[in-house]
Structure 1
Amino acid sequence: MNSASTSSTGKGSSFSTPLLFMHVCCAGVFFTKGGWPAFGIFIAMYLLHVFALTAGYHRYFSHKSFKTSRAFQFVLALLGTTAAQRDPLWWASHHRMHHQNADTEEDIHSPKRHGFWWAHMGWVMNRRLSETRFDKVRDFAKFPELLWLNRHPFVPVVIAASLLAASGALLNALRPDWGVTGPQFLFYGFFLSTVAVYHVTFCINSVAHLYGKRRFEVDDDSRNNWLLGLLAMGEGWHNNHHRYAVCARQGFRWWEIDLSYLLLRVLQWLHIVWDIREPPRAVLNEGRAS
């Protein structure tokens, strides 16, 4: 790695005690009762957090691809923060930098420029990149509640973990025949689910810039990856996204399942979100021709 890329990304030694702690705690599932309750809470928390990150952190806070109320804006921010990927201001500021410099030396997580490991999670653990670029998110930095989450990103995480454990213990006391326990909800619903969400979302930065198909000839290495499209609730149609980043829909063809977009449509029907931005017809036609 030359000095220019090291300087631009702040690349250096990367280590994160909280991230290591989250991974180590996943081993608790081997000492905890499994079964359908464990699987159910794992899936429920996985889907909740992926949606909060894809629809909230990414499509709303990073790209403003739809509008909503200040109250639901905070709901998206709070739920996203419980996924333990920092707060929306930090997340969006770095993501906007990525789009400004995608797969160039200035890209903070390009696998082409800095390697797979750095793009996948090395950059997340680097302390030089832990600061929020407030100059990139002035539109949202004006909200005090979002600034509070920026200053205290671990508080919602601890509360969420505690509530999951307490809920499991309460269900065990009220309905022991259900087979639910506090440790089960904690280890499957929080630690294992959160780490699974980590790696699925991290794969958009790493895998989706290396493996998949390129429908659009854009100035970066983004690719459409069908598996990530399913696992990340639509984020895997990454080449589509880099062609027209400001729309809420990333699956441009009928068979490109984009669950986050479909849920946003349901929220629009409920009048919780509105002005959902669609890809222009010219872009869609360009994709059919390529």
Structure 2
Amino acid sequence: MHVLSLFAPFHFNWPAFCVALALYVVTGLFGITLSFHRNLSHRSFKLPKWLEYLFAYCGVLALQGNPIDWVSTHRYHHQFCDSERDPHSPTEGFWFSHMGWLFDTNSVIERCGEPNNVGDLEKQSFYRFLRSTYIVHPFALGALLYATGGFPFIVWGMGVRIVWVYHITWFVNSACHVWGNQAWNTKDLSRNNWWVALLAFGEGWHNNHHAFEFSARHGLEWWQLDMTWYVVRFLQAIGLATDVKLPTETQKQRMALNSDIIAT
């Protein structure tokens, strides 16, 4: 996909750019941050099954893996955060946590063992189906894009968009454990990083997230932009999102650092 994206300057047109932008939202916000992360990994809220499955399918189109494997890796990250058993530990260097860990296909099993932390997903036939047919779906989308807009739609709707969402997701694992500030006593390296939050639909408020993993809202302050939370809140308002979890004031007081902010 990185090689494909190199053709972007030579195959630019506005419809192709708009397709890439739309799929960035569909796969990045609805698929990765809302579905794979907040809904499936942390069960921060509940959705009707048809909508849960629809959003999860959007995540598959991001080409970051099937829901079962993605969620398993993320749950291990929280279980072993910033330790030698963390699947993408920042203690092994920025580039390892950003993308280097992906090139060692056995590293997650070697560090964490078999993925036995996703029984809630494995018991559902839909997620087993996505795991067994995972690679078919993004390429089916690619075929549809080619039939609709030719090679420019492939370059922008697949190459540029997938690489863009890749690196935004990976910056949460890397940059948000290196640069930013801490407001909560999480005993790890997680940081709140405003520019990652802007690009990743609110995921950059990472210290907030590590303090309250269960929370559907990552941008806990009024000024902390969190587009994923705004969508969840809208779904809650129309009755589609239920059991929406948020930290209480007591929980916040328990996790707060003595100082307001630790700058790094």
Same-fold status (TM-score > 0.5): yes
* Cα drift, residue 213 of structure 1: 0.5
Q: 1:156 aligns with which of 137, 158, 168?
A: 137
In structure 1, distance between residues paired with 2:103 and 2:133:
18
Identity of aligned residues (%): 37
Q: 2:16 aligns with which of 38, 44, 57?
A: 38
Task: Structure 2 unaligned segments of length 5 or more: list them.
Answer: none
Q: Secondary structure at the match of 2:12?
A: coil
In structure 1, what is the equivalent of residue 168 of structure 2? 200
In structure 2, distance between residues paired with 1:184 and 1:271:
39
Are positions 1:63 and 2:37 aligned together? no
* Cα drift, residue 129 of structure 1: 4.1
In structure 2, distance between residues paired with 1:140 and 1:58:
13
The size of the alignment, in residue pairs, is 254
Q: 2:178 aligns with which of 207, 210, 228?
A: 210
* Cα drift, residue 287 of structure 1: 4.5
Are positions 1:257 and 2:225 aligned together? yes
Q: Secondary structure at the match of 1:264?
A: helix
In structure 2, distance between residues paired with 1:125 and 1:66:
33
Q: 2:203 aligns with which of 235, 240, 257?
A: 235
* Deviation string, structure 1 residues 20-41 (Cα, Å, up to 9, x no partner): xx1111122133133x323322
Q: 1:110 aligns with which of 71, 74, 89?
A: 89
Contact kept? 2:11, 2:151, Cα under 8 Å: yes
Q: What are the residue-to-residue correspondences of 1:1-290 with 2, within 5 Å?
A: 22-34=1-13, 36-51=14-29, 52-112=31-91, 114-129=92-107, 133-168=114-149, 182-285=150-253, 287=256, 290=260
In structure 2, distance between residues paired with 1:40 and 1:288:
43
CA RMSD after TM alignment: 1.8
Contact kept? 1:216, 1:239, Cα under 8 Å: yes
Contact kept? 2:185, 2:257, Cα under 8 Å: no
In structure 2, what is the equivalent of residue 6 of structure 1? none
Structure having the higher Rg: 1
In structure 2, distance between residues paired with 1:164 and 1:282:
50
In structure 2, distance between residues paired with 1:137 and 1:217:
28
In structure 2, what is the equivalent of residue 179 of structure 1? none
Contact kept? 1:90, 1:133, Cα under 8 Å: no
Q: Which TM-score applies when normalising by structure 2?
A: 0.91
* Deviation string, structure 1 residues 81-101 (Cα, Å, up to 9, x no partner): 110000111001011111011
**Counterpart residue type for residue 245 of structure 1:** E
Contact kept? 1:60, 1:66, Cα under 8 Å: yes
